Amino acid sequence: MNIKNIVNRDIVNLTNCESEPIHIPGSIQPHGFLLGINKNNSKIEFSSENSADYIGLTPEVILGKTLAEIFTEEEASGFVEYVSAAVIDTAKPYVFSMKEELYNTTVHQSGETIILEFEPFPDGTLNLPNLYNQTRKFVSIMEKATYMKELCQEIVNETREITGYDRVMVYKFDANYNGEVIAESRNKDVASFEGQKYPHTDIPVQARELYIRSPLRMIADVSYKPVPLLTLDDAAGKSNKSLDLSLSILRSVSPIHIEYLMNMGVAATLTISLLQNQKLWGLIACHHYSPKILPHYTRLSALLQGHFLTSQIAVREVAEEFEVTQEVDKALSESLTLLHDHDDFIEAFHQAPSVLKMANATGVVIYYNGKLYKNGQVPADEELIPLLEHLAANYNSHGIHTEHLLGIYPEGKSLSRYAAGIIYHAIPSGSHAGILWLRSEKIETIKWAGNPHKAVLPNEAGDRLSPRKSFELWAEEVKDLSETWRKSEINAAANFSFSLQKHVNLRLIRTQEDKNRILNEELKSANKELANLNWISTHDLKEPLRKIQIFASKVLDREDPDLSAQVKDSVERMRFAAEKMQLLIEDILSYSKTGNMEKVYEKVDLNNILSEVLQELSTVIEEKKAVVHADKLPELAVIPFQVRQLFINLISNGIKFTAPHIHPEINITVDEVSGEDISHEKSVGNTRYCRISFADNGIGFSEEYKERIFDVFQRLHPAHKYPGSGIGLAICKKIMENHKGFLTASSEPDKGSVFQVYFPV
């Protein structure tokens, strides 16, 4: 039979303690022995080398056997029943006996191996803890202790009374896993560690992970000699066997940790994990200055103290946070009331004490419209403005909070006196606008248990790293940091900043409304003046023009025989000009009315309107021998008199703008189209339009004029050849705008024109 040990020799020659495989040491502490049973075949696959010291059987005898071959049939059968339970109760170990010796046997599974750890009863008796009294004491402690630190102190006092260790501490981790002793109970003969801090390197990552998986660890004697685990050498070539001992109470400890404890002068330890949200919050650490084996049930009592304390961590921290939150919320409410009640809050109320109190800040600055509004202790303006510009450039879309301003603004070393920590939120209403809460520097002297910068030093052999040898008090002064911002303070600052942003935006809106109101009044006044001018031009000018026409006609009728041909021509020209001007004024009046008259829509049959228009234009149609063809038109909700004017203008243009000796022909067609199919800027995609087309055989125009022809007074042809004011198509365009529609034109010279009007359906 070939037997080999599975000691992990990589541990001995480490160069980095943070990669040490402490969960597979391949050895155990000697205050008990270990067996590993293969779950599949029930045979003993692992045995610690010291089995003979306890049960008189060497590993050579044990390995490859079953429990029934080592212990009595009755005990083996009882164990099978014990281990077959849905959950193995590790708090109640199975009891084996051998040679009249009883062994508490804790059991857990590691992969395919069931691990049995045998510990003899130290005094040969089973000492069960008095759980009732222990729980009653804790409830009394819980009622008496108001704050977390007080509760921790009571727990260490009680734990030391239960266990008898020389020193019991509660060791709390910070965010970087540096630890601090926040409560301590000790023998009067040992020096105090309370208030001292220990660097995160003292408990590396893989050790912290084990503390989470296994809540209790005991070292009975730091001077112990590790006991190797043995196994059968597998002929199949599986020579790299290892056994994960993460949950083992007997697991051998890292030699680096042993050396660390020896350097501290500690001979035995017990460590209990304190968890919050599945993260390591801290430890209950027990030290003894001589070897000490704590019996199984006493360990459970100590572990129960850890569970008691763990149950209160979140409750106590929330309670302490609640006290702060109440004060913060009160200050926030006061500040919001001032903000909502006063439009001039920034200028008049920025120095309100509540603005500081809501974040428990030492100073606050609002930067708005290029001005600084300051409250409390703040740096000089020439230092503040570059900081605010930096924050606005880098944190404009989201706020930021930090206890170490130099980490994000290295050039701000001189600001630490006032602004070691900040909360900042931008105000998106102007260049670099924002609100900034400041906290002054909190210079702190930290008491380290030894120099934290020499947490790990090379040993004399130089083949691996070993822990520092000095634990003398080492003081470090920490600067450029503020107190940590609490969550409630950060939330209150964010809440107020959001309200301030709305307040500023509302101010801007009101300012713009005032400007718009003034502009609107000015526009109304201008429109009134224009209306007066329009009245004068369209009414007061009509009478003189009418008189000019009458006088000219009288002169020509009465004095005709006595007038020279030259005078007759001049008077005729004067009469013609007055008539032309009167027509122009009437067209201007029509254009003005088109935009200003009340828009009353009626559902009408467009065929009726077209008939009226053709009847009105019958004289010119007969004179020009024009022909008008029209499809049946629909019923639409329109402004009847405006649509009538639209039809008159479009048909009149089709008759007027024709070549000599050509009989005008106008075709009016109708269809329905979707907005998506119309390439016009005023077309709405999800709207249907009734399209009415007016196509003529007139003289046409160049495509470049298809938009300009709708401008007022825009003429493409000489007035003496094609008379008119140049307003007709502008009136048509405005009529279609009144109907929320539009008008288009297309044409080629000498090939006629097509005007299309689009009414939304």
**pLDDT for residue 449:** 54
Query: What band does 34 get if pLDDT is binned at 50, 70 and 90?
Result: very high
Listed residues 532, 567, 596: the one ending a domain: 596
- Same domain (yes/no): 262, 168: yes
Considering the domain architecture, whether residues 104 and 199 belong to the same structural domain is answered as no
Q: What is the mean pLDDT of residues 360-376?
A: 91
DSSP-assigned letters across all residues of 2-27: -EEE---GGGTT-S-GGG--TT--SE
More confident residue, 654 or 48: 48
Q: What is the CATH number of the domain that holds 387?
A: 3.30.450.270
Integer Cα distance of 383 and 398 in angstroms: 22
Mean pLDDT of 64-88: 91
* Cβ burial 311-323 (10 Å sphere, 16+ → b, else e): ebbeebeeeeeee
Examine residue 328 and state whether it is found in any structural domain, yes or no. Answer: no
Under the banding of pLDDT at 50, 70 and 90, the label for residue 465 is very low
d(CA 691, CA 673): 7
**Does 154 fall in a domain?**
yes
Name the domain boundary from 596, 619, 639: 596
738 vs 599: CA distance, rounded Å = 8
Indicate whether 469 belongs to any domain.
no
Rounded Cα distance between 294 and 290, Å, is: 12
Q: Are residues 683 and 643 in the same domain?
A: yes
One-letter identity of residue 24: I
Instruction: Collect all residues with Cβ–Cβ distance below 8 Å to 187 and sequence separation of at least 6.
Output: 166, 167
57-71, 125-139, 595-609: least confident range: 125-139
DSSP letter at 633 equals P
The per-residue pLDDT for range 286-342, each reduced to its tens digit, is: 999 999 999 888 888 899 889 888 888 888 777 777 778 888 999 999 999 998 888
497 in Cβ contact with 425 (< 8 Å): yes
Residues 282 and 374 reside in one and the same domain = no
Nearest-5° Cα angle at 363, 361 to 365: 120
The residues, ordered by sequence, that sit 6+ positions from 313 with a Cβ below 8 Å of its Cβ are 148, 274, 276, 281
Q: Are residues 581 and 614 in the same domain?
A: no
Same domain for 498 and 612, yes or no, is: no
CB 415 within 8 A of CB 405: yes
For 510-574, strand residue ranges (E) read none
Using one digit for the tens of pLDDT, what is the confidence trace for 680-724?
888 888 889 999 999 999 888 888 777 777 775 555 555 445 555
Instruction: For residue 247, count other CB atoms closer than 10 A to its CB.
Output: 18
State the average pLDDT for the chain. 82
Q: Which tokens belong to 76?
A: 């083996």
User: Phi, psi at residue 272, to the nearest 5°?
Assistant: -120, 130
Which residues partner with 25 through β-bridges? none
Cα gap 595→730, rounded to integer Å? 11
Q: Domain check: are 591 and 640 in the same one?
A: no
Closest CA to 676 of 693, 663, 689: 689
pLDDT band per the 50, 70, 90 thresholds, residue 537: low
- Tell me the pLDDT band of 580, cut-offs 50, 70 and 90: low
| 473 falls within a domain | no
Task: Decide which of 288, 320, 352 is a domain's last residue.
Answer: 320
Q: Which residues make Cβ contacts (< 8 Å) with residue 16, sequence separation at least 6?
A: 465
Looking at the domain assignment, is residue 524 inside a domain?
Answer: no
Q: What angle do CA 518, 519, 523 make, to 5 degrees?
A: 120
Domain assignment present for 529: no
Residues 578 and 606 in one domain: no
Same domain, 113 and 138: no
> Average pLDDT in the 165-181 region?
91
Does 517 map to a domain? no
Same domain, 592 and 621: no
Number of separate domains in the chain: 5
pLDDT tens by residue, 267-277: 999 999 999 88
Question: What CATH number corresponds to the domain at position 700?
Answer: 3.30.565.10
Host domain of residue 47: 3-120
* Residue 49 shares a structural domain with residue 181: no
SS3 readout for 434-500: EEEEEECCCCEEEEEECCHHHCEEECCCCCCEEECCCCCEEEEEECCCCCCCCHHHHHHHHHHHHHH
> 481-531, pLDDT tens digit by residue?
888 898 899 999 999 999 998 888 888 888 777 777 888 777 777 666 656
In this structure, the answer to whether residues 411 and 503 fall within a common structural domain is yes
pLDDT in tens, 10-28: 654 444 445 556 778 889 9
Report CA-CA distances (Å) from 370 to 373, 381, 389, 597. Answer: 10, 11, 11, 49
Please report, rounded to a whole number, the percentage of residues in the chain having pLDDT higher than 70.
Answer: 81
Residues 712/591, Cβ–Cβ less than 8 Å: yes
> Where residue 33 sits, what CATH number does that domain have?
3.30.450.20
467 located within any domain: no
CA 565 to CA 114: how far, in whole Å?
A: 137
Query: How far apart are alpha carbons 176 and 734 in whole angstroms?
Result: 74
